[in-house]
Amino acid sequence: MRAVVVGAGEVGYHVAERLSTEKHDVVVVDVRPERLEYVQTRLDVAVVEGSGASPSVLEMAGIRDVGLLAAVTSVDEVNLVCCMSVRGGDHLVKVARVSNPDFYADGAHLRPELFGVDVMINPERELALETLRLLEATEATDIATFAGGAVQLVGLKVTDEAPIAGRTFAEIGADIGNAPMLTVALKRGDRTIVPKGTTAVKSGDHLYVVATESTMPTSLELCGYRTTEVRRVMIAGGSLEAYYLAQLLHQHRGQAIMLIKERDRAQDLAAKLDQALILNGDATDLELLEVEGVSGVSAFVALTDHDEINILSALLAKHAGARQVVTLVNRMDYMPLARMIGLETVVSPRLSAANAILRYVRRGSVTKVATFKDSEAEAIAFNVSAASPLVGLRLAEVDFPEGAIVAALVRETESGAIVPRGDDKLLVGDQAVVFALPEAVGPVAELFPS
C-alpha cells in the first residue's frame, strides 16, 4: 500500500516509521526542510517539501495512487484543509489529527464528514485514556484493552520480590492452573521474545501479560505488585492531555489536583474544570510538592508541554514519596533515559495516535491495533471469518508464524473474553487478539482474511 503522511513531527515520524517497517510505500510531506532531512536519513521513505494544505504539493506526493492519507501536523486547520483538498474514493482512507475539544463535544456541528475526513484522531485524549487505565492498573508500564476492558494486555516489570522471579513459565503455569492469564512476550535488554515453557523469569524482566479483568490483580501480585484504588491524582501542567485526564478522573469518581505554572492557563482551566482543584504553582518546586501532599495521593502524573520538565517533576515527586508516577515524553529518544533513571511508566501521544491510525491501515478483518513503547511488537484484533483456514482447529494444532501468539479470544459468552489454551478452537464470529513481532505481522494477517 502507498501512504502519504502530512507532518514530519513526532506523531508523523512514528506513523511513517511503523508503515515503512511493514514495507508500505510512504511519502512524508512537511514545510520544514530540516525535519524532512531528519526523516529521510533515518527511514526508508520519500519526502516532499511543502504545505499539505496545497493540492499541488499533494499531487507531487502522488496522492492519486495512495490508500491512506494521514494528516498529522500540530495544526488542526492544516490537517482538515489537507483532507478537504483530496477527493476521496473507495480505496482512500483519510485520517486527520484534530485536538480541538469542540470537534468532539456532544452535539458538535463540526462533523468529520463535512471536511471529507474518514476518521479524526485526538492523540491528547487517547493519551489521557491510556493514562487512566495505567493508573487503575497501578504499576503497569503499558496497557491495551479489548472487548470493552474484559481482557487486558499489560506490560509489567518483574520486581526482586516477585513470586515468579527465578522460575520457568512451565512451573508458573502449573501453580496458577487454569487461571485466565498468559504471558505473551518477555523483553530482556534489547530483545523481545515469545517465551516457551522452559524460559525462566528474571528480576528486571519486562513481561507482557494478558488476563481477564477479574484476574488482572493476580497478575500484578505475581510480578510483585498490589492493586490500589485511584482516588486523588496530582497532575503537573495545563496541557490538553491534563485537561482530558482531569475530566476522565471526575467521570470515574476521582479527583484531580492540578499544578499549573502559567497563571492565565490556571484561571482558564479553573473555569472549565469546577470539579478539579487548580493550583497556580511550579511542579518542579520540591517544597510545593511536599506541602500539597504528593506522598498522600494515589498518583502523580507529569503532563506539561515540555519533556524535560515532566522528567524532572516526576523524579521530584518520586523522591517526595509519590506511590505511582506517570510521565509524558514526546521524544522517543528520551524514553530509554526515563526508564534508566527509574521512571518506568511513560506515555507518548504519538504512540496513541499511531495505534489509532494503524487500525485503518490494516482495515478489513482488523478491529484494533495497539503498539508498545519498549517493543516493536503489536497487539492486533482480527475478526474471524469463515474464510480463515484456522476455523475449527485447536490452537495446539495451528502452525502459527514464529514470533506471534494468540493472546485472547473475544466471544459472545458471559465473560466476553477467553485467555486461550491449546485445546481452545477458533470459531466464526470470534475476535482473535494476536500479539506479534514485526516480521510476523504480514503472515498473521494472511490467516485472517475478511
pLDDT digits (tens, 9 = 90+) for 311-364: 999 999 999 999 889 999 988 788 888 888 888 889 888 777 777 777 666 555
The β-bridge relationship of strands 142-146 and 151-157 is antiparallel
Which residues partner with 435 through β-bridges? 379, 405
Q: What domain range includes position 283?
A: 229-323
Average pLDDT score over residue span 252-257: 89
- Dihedral sign from CA coordinates of 431, 435, 438, 442: negative
- Dihedral sign from CA coordinates of 435, 437, 443, 445: positive
Average pLDDT score over residue span 208-233: 79
Query: Does 112 map to a domain?
Result: yes
Q: How confident is the model at residue 26 (pLDDT cuts 50, 70, 90)?
A: very high
Q: CATH no. for residue 296?
A: 3.40.50.720
Q: What is the number of other CB atoms lying within 10 angstroms of the CB of residue 424?
A: 16
Average pLDDT score over residue span 375-383: 82
- pTM listed for this prediction: 0.69
Name the residue type at position 154.
V
Q: How confident is the model at residue 145 (pLDDT cuts 50, 70, 90)?
A: confident
Query: Does 254 map to a domain?
Result: yes
Min mean pLDDT across 49-53, 106-110, 300-304, 378-382 is at 106-110
At which of 121, 148, 164 does a domain end? Answer: 121
Burial classification of residue 79, based on how many CB atoms lie within 10 Å of its CB (0-12 exposed, 13-18 middle, 19 or more buried): buried
Q: How confident is the model at residue 197 (pLDDT cuts 50, 70, 90)?
A: confident
- Residue 110 or 223, more confident: 223
At which of 95, 121, 147 does a domain end? Answer: 121
Average pLDDT score over residue span 51-80: 91
Query: Does 148 map to a domain?
Result: no
pLDDT, tens only, 67-101: 889 999 989 999 999 998 887 666 788 999 988 87
Name the residue type at position 113.
E
d(CA 322, CA 334): 22
Q: 138: closest CA among 225, 242, 66, 62?
A: 225
Cell numbers linked to 142 = 503499558
Same domain for 309 and 384:
no
Structure confidence at residue 106 (pLDDT): 58
Percent of the chain residues past pLDDT 70, beyond the cut: 90
Average pLDDT score over residue span 12-26: 87
Percent of the chain residues past pLDDT 90, beyond the cut: 35
Structure confidence at residue 260 (pLDDT): 97
Please say if the pLDDT value at position 373 is more than 90. no
d(CA 427, CA 424): 9
Structure confidence at residue 412 (pLDDT): 73
Q: 283: closest CA among 266, 270, 267?
A: 266
Total domains, the chain: 3
- Dihedral sign from CA coordinates of 292, 297, 302, 304: negative
Query: Does 442 map to a domain?
Result: yes
Average pLDDT score over residue span 131-154: 78
Same domain for 113 and 56:
yes
Query: Is-contact 256 277, C-beta < 8 A?
Result: yes
Enumerate the H helices of 121-274 as residue ranges. 123-136, 169-176, 216-222, 240-251, 263-272
d(CA 199, CA 205): 12
Q: What are phi and psi of 221, to 5 degrees?
A: -65, -40
Same domain for 403 and 317:
no
Name the residue type at position 302.
A
